[in-house]
Amino acid sequence: MSTMLFPVGRIQRTATGFQGHLSRDLEHEADAVWAMLTDAAALAQWLAPGSIQPQPGGAVRIDFADSGTVIDSAVTAFEPGRVLEYSWSSGDQPQRPLRWELHPRGGGTRLELFVEIPAGEDVAKACAGFEGHLEMLATALEGVPTRFPFDLFVQTRKAYAEQVARLG
């Protein structure tokens, strides 16, 4: 039995579905982590090719060419170096807000991610996907290119599915 690299985040029910709360303690200053979230060249290293206009109302476009998914939304919260929020959706799809929060800690940063998933969608799959991308972000901060960690995705998806089952 393999062990998890990170503790799995928490899922809770909301009025419209579920919210996942994932976090990472990173050994990098908040400015470096912020650049990973907002710089187009950095996004391509851990998430997918895209761009985020760094301002409230700014355009967000992220293209997951492999899956055919394109995120086309707008920044809904923006506090430079601290908070970035946008919807993980396009067009008439349900809103799926993502909220990234950075909390400096010593010489590092705690990165917290809040993922809103509408009722009827696979919250375990969504949260496990973000666990994989957070792992890729941590690796990219070290300057090491990496592929999506599918084994981590499979492990965390199972753990998240168990959490959802306990919620009833």
- Give the β-pairing of 83-87 and 97-105: antiparallel
Average pLDDT value for residue range 15-40? 96
Task: Give pLDDT tens digits for 18-27.
Answer: 999 999 999 9
Give the pTM.
0.92
Residue 159: alpha-carbon gap to chain centroid: 17
N- to C-terminal Cα distance for the chain? 27
> By three-state DSSP, how is residue 49 classified?
coil
Given this model, what pLDDT does residue 118 score?
Answer: 95
Q: Which helix (H) or strand (E) holds 12?
A: strand 10-13
More confident site: 13 or 5:
13
Given this model, what pLDDT does residue 4 score?
Answer: 45
More confident site: 25 or 7:
25
Query: Which pLDDT band, with edges at 50, 70 and 90, does 152 fall under?
Result: very high
Task: Give pLDDT tens digits for 40-98.
Answer: 999 999 999 999 999 999 999 999 877 778 899 999 999 999 999 999 888 888 999 99
Given this model, what pLDDT does residue 121 score?
Answer: 94
Task: Give pLDDT tens digits for 104-144.
Answer: 999 999 999 999 999 999 999 999 999 999 999 999 999 99
With beta carbons less than 8 A apart as the criterion, state whether 52 and 38 touch.
yes
Given this model, what pLDDT does residue 3 score?
Answer: 44
Instruction: Indicate if the pLDDT at residue 5 is higher than 60.
Output: no
Query: Which pLDDT band, with edges at 50, 70 and 90, does 149 fall under?
Result: very high
> By three-state DSSP, how is residue 104 classified?
strand
